[in-house]
Every structure is written in C-alpha cells, then in structure tokens.
Structure 1
Amino acid sequence: MLRFLPRIDAATLIAFGCILLLLLLGAAAKPGFLSVDYLAQQLQIASFLGTIATGAMIVILIGQIDLSIPWTIAIGGMMATGASGILGDALGVPLAIPFGIFCGLLVGVVNGLGVAYLRAPSMIFTLGMNAVAQGLMVFHTGGFAPQDRATGLMVAIASGQLIPGISNPLLVWIVLGAVTVYMLTSTRLGRQIYAIGNRERAVFLSGVDSRRVTVIAFALSGTCAAAGGVLLAGWANRSYQAMGDPYLLPTIAAIVLGGTNVLGGRGTYLGTVAGVILITLLQSILSVLQPQDYFAEIGIRLPADVFRQVVFGLVIIVMMMFYGREKVVR
C-alpha cells in the first residue's frame, strides 16, 4: 500500500502559484495588503477554515463527502456556549470546549454508521443529518438567537496569542495539521484511508474492516467541524444559528483546489493547506475589488456573498470536470 502515500503533485504547486498571483494582485489593488499585520489576520481567518477542512478532507479521501458540515459547526459553537445551561455552571464552564466538540463527534459517528453499515449514499445521508442538526438547534434555542456567550477560555483560544506573533487559532491549525500529516503518512489507518478511496472492495477483500475506517473518517470530520465552530464562537464571543452555512462551499473548494481528488484516493494535506490559504486570499480579493459591481453595470446584480458562492461553485464544477476527464484518460 506504499503507493497510496500522498505526494506533492502538480495541483499543489499550481495552488501555491495562484497564492503568489493573488498576493501580487492584492498588493496592486490595496496598499498594505502585504503588510505583516494584514497577512497575519488572513492566516488567523484561514485557520478557522483549515480546521474545518482537515476532517472534510479525510472523508473525501475515502471517496465520500460530508454535507452536514454547516450545522455541525453550529452544533459545536452553540453547545459550547450553552454548556452552562445544559451541564450547570460547575461543569459547563470548564467543559464547554470538550462538550461542544463531543457533540460534533456524535454527529460524525452517526454519519459514519449510516454510510458504512446502512450503505446509504454519503451525499444524501449527511444532507439529511444536516437538516436534523438544524432542527435540533432550532428546538434548543426555541427558534430565537441564543443568548449564551463564549467562556473566557474560548475567547482566549480564539483571539489570544500563546506564542507572540502566532494567533492561537493558527497554532491550533498547525498542531492539528501535524497530527493529520503523521496519521495519513505514517500509520496503518492513513494507508487504509487512501486505499479505500482507490478501491474499497479490494481493501475489504484483503481483510481490512473498511466500515470501521469509514466511521472513523466521518467522526474526525464531525470533530473538526465542531472544533471550528468552537473557535468561531470564541472569536465572535457568541454563537448563532446558521453560523456554519458560509463554510460548506469554501471548505470543499479549498480541498479540491489543493489537489485532493473528489472521487477519493489521492491528495495531500499540504495541498489542502494551500487550498485553504488560496480560498481565504480569494475571499479577501473579492472583498477588495468588488467585482460584482462590474456585473451590476450590465444588469446582473448579485450580493457580495452570493457572488462568492457562485465563484466557489464554479471552482468545484471545473475541478470535477478535470477529475472526470483525468479518470477517462487513465
């Protein structure tokens, strides 16, 4: 199975090349775009997306997809900020972060069980779980915006700097990324993930419990999504319904832009890092240039957030066409 180990491929190099082009474009469009403070801010913003994309990438590597990410993020943030009301102040304050992440883990495990043992299509099952999570959160808040605030520890992790010059969310992403790289490249589980993405039936016939690996992959996705929600809640000092909705398309777009095959079996975490930074810079560039204003002049009026979603959707479609063509050629 050594041939399934990830390598730096052309897609990753292209992603880093696009990052360089965006940096040059941003520098030309906005004075101070390349300043240390601004780039540090962009890396902090990228760390939220990077944390979420880490787990989603693992699911894509096995040839599946997790569409429950938006409301798993909301569950993580809302359960962490509301832990005191559920567990009481004595336990809710110190256990707010692990409680929120644990709730996301449960969502991931349910997704994994449904896909692995019920053989339900991951796209349909996780989309249904996203709706279930939404309903549970609306019931939890009574249909209103929650009044809970983030704990001091959540705010410190999301906004502080344990190491001067490196924001805590970025530090969390670095540690998480290092663990993920080790898992994917140096453990049996990592080799099994790549192998299942290439040909699950052959892996199953070789004696590997592919269903267990699938459950683990979805559990990691739910855990990372909830961790991203906890970070976002700490950064905003509050949680709110639909807080994860803006992250589904950027997450998938970042992963595929980094060279991870959406059909599974190929991709590197370094490529995902490049894709996350690329998407973050692209969002920043779109905010600076306001290209939707040019379309408005010809009668096409799109809000800024809608325009960004269109761009991310087109990126995913183009990469899907590329992967499909590549598979035919191979």
Structure 2
Amino acid sequence: MNQSYSTADKQDTRQAQRFSSTSIAVLTIYSLVVLMIFGSRLVSPSLGGLSQLMTVLYLSSFLVICAFGQGLVIMVRGLDLSVASMITLGGVLSTTFMQGTNEGLYFIIPGILLISALVGGISGFGITRLSIPPFIMTMAMGLIVYSVCLGFTEGTPRGFPAPILNAFMQSKVFGVALPILLMLILIVIFTTLQSYSAFGRKLNAVGNNPDAANIAGITVKRMTISAYAISAACSALAGVLLAAYANGATLRMGDDYLLPSIAAVVVGGSSILGGRGNFLGTVGGALLLTTLSSMLSALGVGQGWKTVLEGVVILVALLMLREQVFASLQSMFKRSS
C-alpha cells in the first residue's frame, strides 16, 4: 500500500514539474516577444511601436491557424509536410469558386474545409493503416495536391475572393483589425480543444503511449487520422484567408508556412516526440517568428541572411527552453533561498 502511494506521489510530482516547466516555457516565449518588439526601436526608430505590434498580430494569425493543426499532428508523434500544399489548395479553390462574388460563400468555405479534411484523412489513413512513415506520406500527399492545383489552374490561378472576405481582412473594430479578433477567438477555441477537452486528452494519451491508450479503450488510429484531417483543414482555412488578404491566390503561397508551422510548435514548448503540447506556447512561438521576420524585412535583410538569422534565433530559443535549463534554474533558486 505504501509503495502504491509512493508511486502515485512520484507521478504527481513529475506532472507538477512538467506543468511548471511548461508554464515557464510559455512565459519565456512571450517575454522574448515583448523584448524583441520594444528592443527593435534601438535598431530602427520606425520599429517597436503599436503599429508594429498590430502588424505582427495580424500577420501571425495565418501561422497560428496552421500551427494549431501541426501541433495536433506532432502531439500524436507525427509530422505534416503537406501544410504548404493545403494552403495553396484552400487559396486556389476559394478564388476559383467565389469568382469575386459573395454568392454561395457560406457553402463554399465549408466545402473547401471538408475537401481538405478528407485529404488530411487520407494521409492519416496511409500512416495508420498502411504503416507509411508520416514524413513520406504527407510529403507525397503534398506533392499530389500541388500537382492537382498546378494542372487545375494551368499554372495561373484565376478568380478573386468574395468581396465580403476582402472587407473582413481590411476592417477594424475600435482600431483592431478583424483578423486579429478572429485569431483571439480561435486561440480560445483551440486552447480549449487541445488542453481541456476529452478529444485533446485522448490525443495526449496517444502521443504519450499508443499501446497504453489502446488498452484504455482509445481508438488510436481514429484519433491519429482526425489529427491529420484537422491539420489539413486548418491549413486550407489559412489559405482562404491569405487569398482574401492578397486578393488572389498563387501556387507558392504556402511555402513560407511549412517550416515555421513546425518551428512555432517546437519553440512553443511542445515535444517533437509527441505526448506534450501547449497551444498558448505555440501561439507565442508564432508571434516570436513573425516578429523576427518583420524586423528583418524592415531592416532590408536579404532572404538568404534572413533565413540564417531566423534559424539561429530558433536554435537559441530551443536551447533556452530545454527542461534541463529550467531544472538548473529551479535548483539554483532553491540553493539561494
């Protein structure tokens, strides 16, 4: 009996330590974002103001949506390399079907999301039922989707998004852009779904130990397929919004979001090995990457050096957010007290 109590106490202690390290990681990420925004004024007087903050929030909204789906896939020990192609699919389908009118808008967007979720479900099916590695399956599906978009558009996407979507992307309420408000609403929904719902807890269990989750009655394969379906739908939604933002679609519109969608999840404190995820940390990672990108663009840094500097910052952030660092800091504070 004492041994069972001891084991339970150890498990509670490990969970408390993990919660503590996750909380510290989230706070660290947001602190870095704040320091980077306000510290950028030292580099250029045009940076570091409220306008830059609003710009960062606006531009990060697309990455936040993509990173949520990517985070779910990573949580179940997977990886979605079809993000860029699914963004392109969402943008191409939205401009092609809408043709610059509002007619049928409320059927077109759900239809696009449903088609995209089906594509993601096929990826999940190949991974779970055919035992194809996630890296290979999602990369192959991404190539297929991109090729379909290329053939469908004959190399040049045509059409325009609905005027109501253009108005949405350009409108403000009390000085705050509507896409920022949409992002805040989605953050609440996504955080609840990932961290506080039965669905999120099941995904977490699958990522921690698939065999134990299966014994506990969780349909591991179905949960994994659903994660890939949601990821594809999120990427397509980002593509619809990007097309409305740019007033058109391009075949390479999703290229800038594949690696950042993975980096935002990992930098945000989630484990690339699965079983641990925190969407608020992912949001912080997306804000950090968007802030860095906007700063480098404002300074006129070339694309090559920009990529190098972004990689260095991501590497430094990952080193700072390692659990060993948090453990060392905790032990240091204990000794000093």
TM-score, structure 2 as length reference: 0.83
Q: Deviations over 1:29-52 (max 9, x none)?
A: 122423222311221111111111
In structure 2, the partner of 1:56 is 70
Deviation at 1:316, TM superposition (A): 6.1
Distance 1:6 1:101, change over 3 A: farther
Distance 1:198 1:205, change over 3 A: same
- Aligned match for 2:35, one of 13, 21, 45: 21
In structure 1, the partner of 2:8 is none
Alignment of 1:118-267 (within 5 A): 118-143=130-155, 145-161=156-172, 163-267=173-277
Deviation at 1:317, TM superposition (A): 6.3
Distance 1:320 1:65, change over 3 A: farther
Distance 1:323 1:272, change over 3 A: closer
Q: Deviations over 1:186-215 (max 9, x none)?
A: 221111111111111211122210111111
Are residue 107 (structure 1) and residue 107 (structure 2) matched?
Answer: no
| 2:41 maps to amino acid | A
**SS state at 1:267 partner:** coil
Task: State how many pairs are aligned.
Answer: 311
Instruction: Flag the structure with larger Rg.
Output: 2
Rounded to whole Å, the distance in 2 between the matches of 1:320 and 1:117 is: 34
In structure 2, the partner of 1:308 is 306
8 Å Cα contact 2:101-2:162 kept in structure 1 = no
In structure 2, the partner of 1:65 is 79
**SS state at 2:209 partner:** helix
Deviation at 1:103, TM superposition (A): 2.7
Gaps of 5+ in 2: 1-10, 328-337
Rounded to whole Å, the distance in 2 between the matches of 1:36 and 1:318 is: 27
TM-score, structure 1 as length reference: 0.85
8 Å Cα contact 1:261-1:323 kept in structure 2 = no
Q: Deviations over 1:53-107 (max 9, x none)?
A: 111111111111100000100000110111147xx97965553322332332222
| 1:213 maps to amino acid | M
Distance 1:322 1:151, change over 3 A: same
Q: Deviations over 1:224-281 (max 9, x none)?
A: 1001000100001101111101111111111111111111111211101110110011
- Aligned match for 1:75, one of 86, 89, 97: 89
Distance 1:96 1:311, change over 3 A: farther
Mean CA deviation greater in 50-59 or 150-159 = 150-159
Rounded to whole Å, the distance in 2 between the matches of 1:323 and 1:277 is: 16
Gaps of 5+ in 1: 292-303
Q: Percent of pairs identical after alignment?
A: 32
